[in-house]
Amino acid sequence: MGAGHGHRLHFHGHSVVHRAPAHLKVLALLAFVLVVVATPRDWYAAYAVHLAVLVGVIVAARVPFGYLLPRMVIEVPFLLFAGLIPFIAEGPRVAVPMPGGWELSLSESGLVAAWGLAVKGTLGVLASLTLAATTEPTDVLRGLQRLHVPDLLVQIMSFMVRYLDVVTGDLGRMVTAMRSRGVDPRSPRHWPALARTLGALFVRSYERGERVHLAMLSRGYDGRLPDPEPTAGAAR
């Protein structure tokens, strides 16, 4: 598909974590985040243990933190929300002295809640990033298959992943064409032009799906995909 190995979050490597079976990694991630979410937020020591486990895995995976940290910005809107909670939550308030001689009145339970949201969300994002950085998409899909996720669902996901770069590339070229004609897709003034672009993108994607289906039929598709090759990353 013109695109190289992996995807935008994958960090190429050959560590133990990279080589571990994908279905075990998905299960481990699910178990880890469930434990994190279920940990009472005032068990501060437990979070240190969670973080230590996660950091251990990342170190074993030899994925640099400088690679993972910038990708955590995805979480920023929720950190902002968490930051608001101490101001709006109920319960007894504490006064936090601020530089300049004034005091900030914050909800005590809100502070604890904000800490809980921030730490759980951050651990979750970092753990998910670690899975994405160490596992090729095809391996994740194969792992889901082994976990008995419905076959049709895995097939749909695999088509989405396979054609994602094609469709986003299509859109990218259309947006470039719009910009070169003086249209700013972000501005509401130009929403009609943007909407026509998205409409065209939908028609193109839908028709591409029809062509892909016909091509599959001509190769003997009968509603089931052949078992993927046993080796990861083999040429298709």
Partner 1 sequence: MHVPDGFLDAPTSVATGVVAAAGVGVALRKARAELDDRTAPMAGLVAAFVFAGQMINFPVGAGTSGHLLGGALAAVLVGPWTGALCISVVLLVQSLFMADGGLTALGTNITLMAIVGAFVGYAVFRLVLAVLPRRAGSVPVAAAAGAFVSVPTAAAVFTLLFAIGGTADVATGKVLAAMVGWHVVIGIGEAIVTGLVVSAVIASRPDLVHGARGLATRAPLVTSEAAA
Window 88-127: residues binding partner 1 (CB under 8 A): 88-91, 107, 109-110, 113-114, 116-117, 119-121, 123-125
Q: Which is nearer to partner 1, 21 or 209 (CB)?
A: 209
Return the CA Rg of the chain: 23
> Which listed residue (177, 186, 229, 233) binds partner 1 by CB under 8 A?
186
Which part of the chain contacts partner 1 (CB under 8 A), choosing from 25-33, 55-63, 93-101, 227-235?
A: 25-33
Residue 221 interacts with partner 1 (CB under 8 A)?
A: yes
**Least distance to partner 1, CB of residue 35, Å:** 9
CA distance to 5, 7, 150, per residue, from 142 (Å): 16, 16, 12
Q: Taking CB under 8 A as the rule, does residue 29 contact partner 1?
A: yes
- Name the residue nearer to partner 1 (CB basis): 15 or 109: 109
Reduced to 3 states (helix: H, G, I; strand: E, B; else coil), residue 96 is strand
Q: Which of 1, 16, 96, 152 binds partner 1 (CB under 8 A)?
A: 152
- For 168-184, b/e burial (b = at least 16 CB within 10 A) is eebbeebbeebeeeebe
Q: Collect all residues with Cβ–Cβ distance below 8 Å to 225 and sequence separation of at least 6.
A: 155, 158
Angle of helix 44-61 versus helix 108-134 axis, rounded to 10: 20
